[in-house]
Amino acid sequence: MSNAQKDQLFLLINSLSKAEKRNFRLYATRNQSGKDAKFVQLFDALDKLDDFDEQAVLKKLPAVKKQHLPNLKRHLYRQILTSLRLIHIQKNIDIQIREQIDFARILYGKGMYMQSLRILDRIKQIAIEHHQDLLHLEILEFQKLIEARHVTRSRAVEHKMDVLLGESETRCTVTYYSNLLSNLNIKIHGWYIDRGHARSAAEKDEIKAFLDQHYPEHLHVTTRKETFFERVNLNQIYLWFHYINQDFLRAEEQAKQWVNQFFRNTQMQEKDPDLYMRGLYYLLVFLFINQDKKEHAYYLDQFVEYVEDADSYLNTNSRMVASFYLNLSRINHLLLNGNYKGADKLIPGIEEEIDLYQHHADRYRVLLFYYKFAWIKFALGEFDKAQDYLNEIVLVKNDVLREELYYFARVLQLLCFYENNDYDVMAYNLTSLRRSMGRSHHTDKLLQTTTSFLKKICETPESESLELFQQLGQELDKQKHKPDNQKSLIYLNTPLWVKSRIKGCTISDICETESLTVSGC
């Protein structure tokens, strides 16, 4: 890892926009002596560096000794965050509410109880309107503290105290169930990360028992209505449950309900854009897996329109989320329609955006892009370029989260070796791959059939290969309609590759001439 990636202060400064840097300098130099402050000089020095270099920083700041640099950096870090808070307070409702709670505590500390209660009453309504459940509870507990310790004459208002106590009980119940649901959401997602899809009846029974065991008791027994985040958490829980069971239609339905929660509560699209875009992305993924071109086009347009309209209030993280999810969805849409040349044209621009967010990006998402790029190049007959992208995946240390992707990349790499007539290299890699797949839970019948075919074709004269391809095509046609192989066809459409070999053309050519519905991860 480079020094730039290790130094958190440098990363923070590097992430600032021009407007944020200008605001920081105004904030830091708000008094006459501020412009000469050492932390401002440190900011300017770091801002001019392309990569973090401590020696270069010390050289630019002769008045700062090396042993004092860590303290100066910590001070600068706090000052930058404080200036950012001032900017983003108008964009983040939770920051606004917390500020008002802080004001109420200051007034309470000065003995101004009634003024404190008035602020709390006002922001309580804001917290309710924006589904800020935890902050709502914090406000209620503060109100109860004031009412319990001081004479506020609130009891003179009929039922006011009963309403406050009833609100508190309801909000405690909401918090309790919200916590259980968010925990279950994380646990069932973790199940998939650790164990992948349920491929046998016993494994499906096991994930069902797991869900039943951890599902909150009495959730639907109470008469109260679930909150926004409770409903979204429920959608995510069942989405992962159906996805683990490879029931992609039901997973799509849960993703659609997730997105519809935001359609019905439009203010939440601004207050939690990342959760909304995540829902749109998963819906588009399942529409892609289920080959629904019409619905995919509709929700992709919704996604594009939202990102364009939301530009003014998306922060850096949200812009990165938008970039990755939207670009993955755009590629999927072109692959869904067999437009490989169109998808290929997107690659340079996407690579620029990946570089832009390289210090913050989820490595798995980047590897997923590389696999898509490799599949596109493979479909266009550019096998060397496909291998360049595949090397980025297969040379990375393997882990459970990306094991499926790793095996698809390895098999696609073998197909590239075959297309380039590198039979010896293919045979060498095939042996280690088959051994590894034999120990893995993350492979299916389609992949196993493909690798068995590659082993056989290595031992067959070129003159007899056409007959083997025809036999493989017939075998794959029997398998491709089975639900357990549906995801493999999305990542690696070997039946289409076989057809291209038999016809002596590229996958892209087949899609153009026959208008096939094609998947490519």
Query: Which of 89, 111, 146 is the C-terminal boundary of a domain?
Result: 89
pLDDT values of the chain reduced to their tens digit, one per residue, 521 residues: 444 446 889 988 888 888 889 989 888 887 545 555 888 889 988 888 888 888 888 888 888 888 888 999 999 999 999 888 888 777 788 888 999 999 999 998 988 888 999 999 999 999 988 888 889 999 999 998 888 887 566 555 566 778 888 888 888 888 888 899 999 999 999 998 888 888 889 999 999 999 999 988 777 655 568 889 999 999 999 999 999 999 999 999 999 999 999 999 998 998 899 999 999 999 999 999 999 999 999 999 999 999 999 988 888 889 999 999 999 999 999 999 999 999 999 999 999 999 888 777 788 889 999 999 999 999 999 999 999 999 988 887 655 446 788 889 999 999 999 999 898 899 889 888 888 887 776 667 888 888 888 888 888 887 778 888 888 888 888 877 777 788 888 888 888 899 999 988 999 998 887 654 444 43
Contact present, 11 and 359 (Cβ < 8 Å): yes
Same domain (yes/no): 124, 149: yes
Is residue 29 one of the residues assigned to a domain?
yes
Domain limit, last residue, from 35, 57, 89: 89
Residues 370 and 442 in one domain: yes
* Residue 457 shares a structural domain with residue 366: yes
Task: Evaluate whether residue 384 is within a structural domain.
Answer: yes
Q: Is the domain of 441 the same as that of 509? A: yes
Please tell me whether residues 113 and 61 are part of one structural domain.
no
Looking at the 3D structure of the chain, how many domains does it have? 3
The answer as to whether 269 is a domain residue is no
What is the chain's Cα-based Rg?
Answer: 28
**504 secondary structure, DSSP code:** T
- Are 375 and 513 members of one domain? yes
Q: Single out the residue in 133, 157, 181 at which a domain terminates.
A: 157
pLDDT, residue 220, reads 63
Structure confidence at residue 374 (pLDDT): 96
Q: Is position 420 within any domain?
A: yes
The token pair that represents 44 in the structure block: 């300017």
**361 and 437 together in one domain:** yes
Q: Quick check: 242 and 211 in contact, CB under 8 A?
A: no
Quote the CA–CA distance of 450 and 344 in Å, as a whole number: 26
Q: Which domain holds residue 82?
A: 8-89
- Same domain? For 12 and 152 the reply is no
Number of H helices, E strands in the chain: 27, 0
Residues 6+ apart with CB under 8 A from 161: 147, 154, 155
Q: What is the DSSP letter of 67?
A: G
Residues 373 and 506 both lie in one domain: yes
Residue 58 confidence (pLDDT): 86
Question: Alpha-carbon distance 310 to 136, whole Å?
Answer: 26
CB atoms within 10 A of CB 478: 9
Q: Would you say 296 and 332 are in contact if contact means Cβ atoms under 8 Å apart? A: yes
To the question of pTM greater than 0.85 for the whole model, the response is: no
Cα distance between residue 258 and residue 2, in whole Å:
39
Does residue 131 sit within a domain? Answer: yes
What angle (nearest 5°) sits at the alpha carbon of residue 384, between those of residues 412 and 320?
A: 75
What is the C-alpha separation between 412 and 414, in angstroms, rounded? 5
Domain membership of residue 401 (yes or no) is: yes
- Shared domain for 25 and 132, answered yes or no, is no
Structural domain contains residue 298:
no
- 324 within a domain of the structure (yes/no): no
Same structural domain, 48 and 135: no
Same domain, 433 and 512: yes
Start-to-end C-alpha separation, the chain: 29
